[in-house]
Chain A
């Protein structure tokens, strides 16, 4: 079974003055989250799409799915958690409860605010995870990455050609992911906010899948402006 978990957690506190969580803002004629869900919904390799929404947005998210996608059992909207790790655990517990955790089942975790994800990226996440157990979607770093331990002076500048920028999806064999997450102590959970980081620190290999520069994360108002400009930049067919 292949499951997609679309993470729509958070309160959108970084969207300037607006109170609306960023994934519910309009991109073209649809909310960002709808564009994202559609990509996983139409992919026949994916058996189930779980949308994890902030508690107070669950009903509205269900409304949006019904309005734009229609009545479907393929998409379920459930409540996410307060942190990324909590949201991940909500997804895993939901799968465990409804389908059981099977050795060969995989889960793709994706940010609701990355609507530009492509069919290829999704397909390669599936094939790569089936083959190697876990993968992360990345692009080559274009900016030099500077490390500073004290926030005042540079402590190191890693070699750029070895640096990548992480995107999503991040994908895993679900049973293994569940076991690893369950083994974390509270202190580890505080620090390990990224599932791939958890794997890496536990010595588990994570393969790389080539992302796209345009698979942007709509985090700030600036990003939304760019996303809208990209979308409206298309010429109308005449």
Chain B
């Protein structure tokens, strides 16, 4: 069957191409319902990745956050019409130690491998997580980014000591919001503090114990553990500020992506005995836990609904451009494309 794949061929240039996909080789055929734009997609679209990366990865269909509908399932795992979230990570080898999202052998859709901006997507059944009735589909569209938060918190559980009275989240963007909200629900006893640079954005974190502008932190402010959700040029000051304010033997989760190397105060990391660990992407168990959380706490879903800045019906390629343009001009929130193509 001929499938239309919408690929970014060069920055701000989308083209449709056609691939033959098999309908009877054990893959579930799904169709996107809603696609959510991630900052990583936006970096490809705007051409802010390096020339080497762009020339290696393009042309490529963008988008790795999606909720879809099952169209046809020869495996009998799902029935037509079931709502599912496809997992962009595609492991090719088993490993008892290394998680699927850190294996060199895994592929990731939307990064060197076609993402979800397609008419149909063929997936292995175990790469799909069913969405129960009642879960808001617009929120389900960005299950992936929420699952990245869930994954980071599961690593936090593994690496951090038990004193978790005060947890600091640096970053007042989408990832900071998601992490802070998840921490608030998963650790209701902990006090969550959010540090950012824009007062207006900080005002969205109504559930947090406190929010502070990074230039205005109280002198006696301390935290037990921290999550860095800043990335880019702000990484350096965020990580070093965390090192200044964190208690000894605390953990620092690095989640912000930076195109450049970041100078950090290793002397104080040593002196305080800190643990700094990376966290990137997510795997199947994180998706399953995320869907369970969304189902378990309907109010969590309402918080997430509130960060959807735009939901744009996409009938034409021009509509896709419009969605990326609007997303780029927004300083907070998610842009979701309703796939009508």
Contact = CB atoms under 8 A, between A and B. Distances in A.
B244 to A, nearest CB: 45
Contacts of B4: 116, 118, 214
Interface residues of B, number: 29
A233 B18 contact: yes
A42 B17 contact: no
A210 B341 CA distance: 11
Contact of A42 (B1, B19, B20): B1
21 contacts: A35-B20, A41-B72, A42-B23, A42-B29, A43-B72, A44-B71, A44-B72, A69-B24, A116-B4, A119-B31, A119-B71, A119-B119, A210-B315, A231-B2, A231-B19, A231-B20, A233-B17, A233-B18, A234-B17, A235-B17, A235-B59
A230 B18 contact: yes
A4 B8 CA distance: 34
B13 interface: no
Interface string A106-121: 0000000001101110
Contacts, number: 68
Contacts of A221: none
Contact of B18 (A44, A70, A214, A238): A214
B1 A234 contact: no
Given A30-B20, A230-B18, A42 B71 contact: yes
Contacts of A210: 315
B242 interface: no
Contacts of A28: 2, 20
Nearest to B21: A38
A233 B263 CA distance: 44
Interface residues of A, number: 28
Describe A's contact surface by its main secondary structure. loop
Interface in B34-59: 59
Contacts of B19: 231, 234
B254 interface: no
Interface of B: 1-2, 4-5, 7, 16-20, 23-24, 29, 31, 59-60, 71-72, 80-81, 107, 112-114, 119-120, 315, 340-341
A61 to B, nearest CB: 17
Interface in A179-205: none
A116 B17 contact: no
Given A44-B71, A118-B119, A119-B120, A38 B18 contact: no
A44 B20 contact: no
A39 interface: yes
B9 to A, nearest CB: 10
A235 B19 CA distance: 8
Nearest to A32: B2
Contact of B71 (A30, A43, A68, A120): A43
A44 B73 CA distance: 10
A230 B4 CA distance: 10
